[in-house]
């Protein structure tokens, strides 16, 4: 029996879904952050549960060939990157195995998963940055990331997943907040930073509406002229939701523009938009090639966000219908069709479950359905409608292998599962 604070020696033989090393000790599994397969380490037990423990790696005794030196000096304490200590090849192998195990265990699919399509840019790829803001005991402002497994903020000098520009703007904002004595008034900074168009959006999340941000806005826009939008979002609720529905435009326009797969997209603060532009193009091109559309085909783009996938596909088919529940995203999607001169795409604002059922009742037929839900996947009713729609092809884009496996286990009643192709959208993290 292991006890808290006990120090043991153990070998890492596997990874958990979230990138912790698994060390077997007697009948126990110990989950240890920052360990690589085949590594032997000295481990301190930090928490004991009924069937497993958590441990902290104190010392590496035998290093693994899969270990690499993380670029970021705070990657160990930071909760942002879980697998930066693994070589990129090992990260891809860890991700492929995770998808394979999940499909076997939950989906009972008996299907060999393709190799993960890795990124040529495993650093500096994030176009969206969200940083909590707080004050320390001496009333100094802290901006950074949450420490692993805690809500303590680690001050951030430079994050290697976001651009240099984003790092510079964050530092400047912190200085301006301090200069304007806005301590305890700012809750989060959110940036959207589009590399291709060089457009940047700043969202300042405050607890209350009455915060004087005039000077901060004036100076930050002077400091970084590529800022095209500054919004204030007011969120006084003590939950972990970052943005409330209440926003005020402080500078520029309510959206910024980006380019993907040769198209221009308007993106607002609230709209879902993939965070890794390089890999989003890889992902969408994979969808285009798997869809293999003809000019007669009609496509349903479920959970369409600002219309990205549907609009990319619209060039290859007769008609696209997109469905999305966030009103602002649908407004953006319609505008995105307009600015790209696309006239064969329409967007319906509503819940996928209800809208798809209605389309089925109206007798609509689809040659290809794109399904790109949030992490929780599709509801059982939506899966039933997908089965009843009996489309020639479904392309299910997922960011959570376990809900994908659950949904595929139901969809396989009607559809043949032909190919499972992982794409690494989040290098250094799981």
Ligand X SMILES: C[S@@+](CC[C@H](N)C(=O)[O-])C[C@H]1O[C@@H](n2cnc3c(N)ncnc32)[C@H](O)[C@@H]1O
Active site residues: 399
The correct pick among 269, 312, 352, 423 for binding ligand X (CB under 6 A) is 352
- Which window, 137-145, 164-172, 219-227, 370-378, contacts ligand X (CB under 6 A)? 370-378
Closer CB to ligand X, 173 or 302, in the complex: 302
Contact between 127 and ligand X by CB under 6 A: the answer reads: no
Beta carbon of residue 231, minimum distance to ligand X (angstroms, whole number)? 18
When CB distances to ligand X are compared, the closest residue is: 305
Contact between 111 and ligand X by CB under 6 A: the answer reads: no
Count of CB atoms situated within 10 Å of the CB of 126: 24
Going residue by residue from 258 to 287, which x/- string records binding to ligand X, judged by CB under 6 A?
Answer: --------------xxx-------------
- Which window, 146-154, 224-232, 366-374, 413-421, contacts ligand X (CB under 6 A)? 366-374
Beta carbon of residue 326, minimum distance to ligand X (angstroms, whole number)? 4
Beta carbon of residue 25, minimum distance to ligand X (angstroms, whole number)? 39
The correct pick among 31, 125, 177, 303 for binding ligand X (CB under 6 A) is 303
The correct pick among 41, 55, 305, 401 for binding ligand X (CB under 6 A) is 305
The correct pick among 246, 327, 351, 388 for binding ligand X (CB under 6 A) is 351
Beta carbon of residue 176, minimum distance to ligand X (angstroms, whole number)? 32
The correct pick among 372, 386, 395, 406 for binding ligand X (CB under 6 A) is 372
Contact between 311 and ligand X by CB under 6 A: the answer reads: no
Closer CB to ligand X, 309 or 411, in the complex: 309
- Which window, 9-17, 149-157, 207-215, 297-305, contacts ligand X (CB under 6 A)? 297-305
Closer CB to ligand X, 273 or 426, in the complex: 273
How crowded is the C-beta side of 336, counted as CA atoms within 13 Å? 34
Closer CB to ligand X, 32 or 309, in the complex: 309
Beta carbon of residue 120, minimum distance to ligand X (angstroms, whole number)? 20
Beta carbon of residue 270, minimum distance to ligand X (angstroms, whole number)? 9
Contact between 415 and ligand X by CB under 6 A: the answer reads: no
Beta carbon of residue 348, minimum distance to ligand X (angstroms, whole number)? 9
Q: What Cα–Cα distance (Å) separates residue 246 from each residue in 37, 111, 210, 220, 242?
A: 47, 46, 13, 22, 12
The correct pick among 96, 183, 325, 357 for binding ligand X (CB under 6 A) is 325
The correct pick among 156, 216, 329, 425 for binding ligand X (CB under 6 A) is 329
- What does the H/E/C string look like for the chain? CCCCCCEEEEEEEEECCCCCEEEEECCEEEEECCCCCCCEEEEEEEEECCCEEEEEEEEEEECCCCECCCCCCCCCCECCCCCCCECHHHHHHHHHHHHHHHHHHHHCCCCCCCCCECCCCCCCCECEEEEEEEECCCCCEEEEEEECCCCCEEECCCCCCECHHHHHHHHHHHHHHHHCCCCCCEEEEEEEEECCCCEEEEEEEECCCCCCCHHHHHHHHHHCCCEEEEEEEECCCCCCCCCCCCEEEEEECCEEEEEECCEEEEEECCCCCCCEHHHHHHHHHHHHHHHCCCCCCEEEEECCCCCHHHHHHHCCCCEEEEEECCHHHHHHHHHHHHHCCCCCEEEEECCHHHHHHHHHHCCCCCCEEEECCCCCCCCHHHHHHHHHHCCCEEEECCCCHHHHHHHHHHHCCCCCCCCCCCECCCCCCC
Q: What are phi and psi of 346, to 5 degrees?
A: -125, 155
Residues in Cβ contact with 320 at an 8 Å cutoff, skipping those fewer than 6 apart: 298, 299, 300, 301, 310, 311, 313, 314, 344, 345, 346
Beta carbon of residue 388, minimum distance to ligand X (angstroms, whole number)? 17
Number of residues lying near ligand X (CB under 6 A): 19
The correct pick among 92, 131, 260, 304 for binding ligand X (CB under 6 A) is 304
Footprint on residues 373-392 left by ligand X (CB under 6 A) = 373-374
Residues lying near ligand X in the complex (CB under 6 A) are found at 272-274, 303-305, 308-309, 323-326, 329, 351-353, 372-374
């Amino acid at each position: 029996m292991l006890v808290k604070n006990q120090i043991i020696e153990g070998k890492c033989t596997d990874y958990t879904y979230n990138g912790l090393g698994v060390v077997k000790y007697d009948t126990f599994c110990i989950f240890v952050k920052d360990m690589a397969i085949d590594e032997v380490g000295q481990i301190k037990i930090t928490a004991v549960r009924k069937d497993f423990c958590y441990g902290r790696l104190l010392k590496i005794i035998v290093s693994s060939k899969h270990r690499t030196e993380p670029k970021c000096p705070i990657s160990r304490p930071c909760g942002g990157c879980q697998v930066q200590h693994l070589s990129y090849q090992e990260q891809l192998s860890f991700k492929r195995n995770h998808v394979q195990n999940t499909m076997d265990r939950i989906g009972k699919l008996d299907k060999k998963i393709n190799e993960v399509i890795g990124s040529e840019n495993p650093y500096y790829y994030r176009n969206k940055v969200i940083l909590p803001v707080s004050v320390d005991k001496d009333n100094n402002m802290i901006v950074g990331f949450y420490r692993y497994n805690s809500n303590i903020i680690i001050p951030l000098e430079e994050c290697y997943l976001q651009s240099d520009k984003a790092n510079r703007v964050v530092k400047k904002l912190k200085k301006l907040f301090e200069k304007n004595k806005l301590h305890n008034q700012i809750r989060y900074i959110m940036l959207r930073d589009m590399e291709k168009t060089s457009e940047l959006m700043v969202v300042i999340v405050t607890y209350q509406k009455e915060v004087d941000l005039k000077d901060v806005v004036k100076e930050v826009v002077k400091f970084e002229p590529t800022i095209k939008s500054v919004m204030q979002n007011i969120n006084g609720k003590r939950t972990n939701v970052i943005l409330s529905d209440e926003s005020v435009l402080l500078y520029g326009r309510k959206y910024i523009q980006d380019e993907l797969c040769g198209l221009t997209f308007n993106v607002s603060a609230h709209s879902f938009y993939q965070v890794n532009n390089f890999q989003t193009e890889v992902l969408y091109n994979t969808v285009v090639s798997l869809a293999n559309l003809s000019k007669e085909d009609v496509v349903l783009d479920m959970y369409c966000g600002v219309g990205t996938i549907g609009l990319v596909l619209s060039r290859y088919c007769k008609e696209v219908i997109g469905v999305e529940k966030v009103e602002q995203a649908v407004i953006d999607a319609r505008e995105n069709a307009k600015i790209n001169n696309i006239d064969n795409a329409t967007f319906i604002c509503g819940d996928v479950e209800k809208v798809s059922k209605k389309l089925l009742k109206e007798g609509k037929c689809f040659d290809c359905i794109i399904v790109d839900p949030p992490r929780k996947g599709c509801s059982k009713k939506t899966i039933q409608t997908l089965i009843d729609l009996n489309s020639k092809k479904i392309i299910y884009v997922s960011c959570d292998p376990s809900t994908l496996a659950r949904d595929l286990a139901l969809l396989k009643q009607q559809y043949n599962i032909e190919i499972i192709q992982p794409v690494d959208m989040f290098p250094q993290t799981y």
